[in-house]
Amino acid sequence: MNADHGFSPAQVDELRVHGIELFAGRVIFDAQPPMDEDAIAAVQAHCAGPLPPALLALWRQTAGGRLNYDLSLEVATSDGPRIEEIGWSELFYHGSDAYNDLQGWIEHEEDQLWEAAEAAGRDCNDKLHYLPIGGFEYLDRIYVATSPDAVDAGGVLAWKQGLPPTWAPALTEDVAVTFAPDLHAAFSHLALHNDPLHPVGEYGHLGAGVELLEYLDARCDDHGLPRALADALVAYFLRALVDWRGLLDARILATHPYALRLALRHAVEQDDAALLVRIKDSGARMDGLVAGGHDALRYARFLKKPDAIATLERLDSSIGLA
């Protein structure tokens, strides 16, 4: 249990009654009861090495549930690096009849091992070196590395399924990247790119955080969650917001690459020439990747944002050269 969340033991118990758990600085909702030791041992039996301590800590607090954050990672592809949004809205658990069924995903991974062994003409005695623990439907998955001899032992890996080639310039090949040394660090990568209380853009109402807010409203309206406690939880949840505007105002955005990427992406999507000028004047580079394989200028061209295109070409002609 986190010591820095600021909630009293009684408040933590009240949140738990409403299916809410706090883990590694983030909020899990629709949270399941803890996984019992027999169930943990059953999962351990499928793995090549010991289950990582952080995963055991999570499962002894909650067997799984839902997350509502953004996760943006740089991945390597045959065409070079890309920035990809990874879906991690589910924490798999036993007994689910949907995409977040832990046992179903374990069986899926074991089937893959058997198929690979059969194709290689050998018996399959392998256990799972990467255990699936979460993701989004069948498209994105999060794994923990359980092989004791692997360089990423205990680490957390994200996998994303590529789309058919006709969908280019979207991701068209499967990718995987180990992005954190353990589950606690992986949770720290979960962020809010926009304030769900103040949605931005045509599709802002679908952004990260909205599902949690709706869940809390339902718990307050229909199940007796005190509104003051829900408001305190929202304030805690919003600690994950990437405040690129504040960093820009403080003229330190250039030293925060993740936030800079979000700022540039927002400026392009909103076709905001004035914001692009402010970002440039703050000393930031304008030629890093912002979405997929696009830098800001290529992204503006892809979205057909005329003011952003003209401004970026004028601010830095070097990124305007094909």
The Cβ of residue 79 has, within 10 Å, a number of other Cβ atoms equal to 12
**Cβ neighbourhood burial of 131 (10 Å; 0-12, 13-18, 19+):** buried
pLDDT in tens, the chain (322 residues): 345 789 999 999 999 999 999 999 999 999 999 999 999 999 999 999 999 999 999 999 999 999 999 999 999 999 999 999 999 999 999 887 777 799 999 999 998 888 887 777 776 678 899 999 999 998 999 999 998 887 788 999 999 999 999 998 999 999 999 999 999 999 999 999 999 998 766 544 568 999 999 999 999 999 999 999 999 999 999 999 999 999 999 999 999 999 999 999 999 999 999 999 999 999 999 999 999 999 999 999 999 999 999 999 998 764 443 3
Asked whether 215 and 29 are in contact (CB, 8 A), the reply is yes
- Phi first, then psi, for residue 198 (nearest 5°) are -135, 70
CB 156 within 8 A of CB 163: no
How high is the pLDDT of residue 321?
A: 39
Q: How far is CA 233 from CA 29, 63, 163, 320, in A?
A: 11, 21, 37, 45
Predicted confidence at residue 317, as pLDDT, reads 63
Task: Give the pTM.
Answer: 0.92
- C-alpha distances (whole Å) from 58 to each of 33, 34, 48, 64 are 11, 8, 20, 8
CB 67 within 8 A of CB 89: yes
pLDDT for 201: 61
3-state SS class at 197 = coil
Helix ranges (H only) for the chain are 9-17, 37-44, 53-59, 102-119, 183-188, 210-223, 227-237, 244-249, 257-269, 273-281, 296-303, 306-315
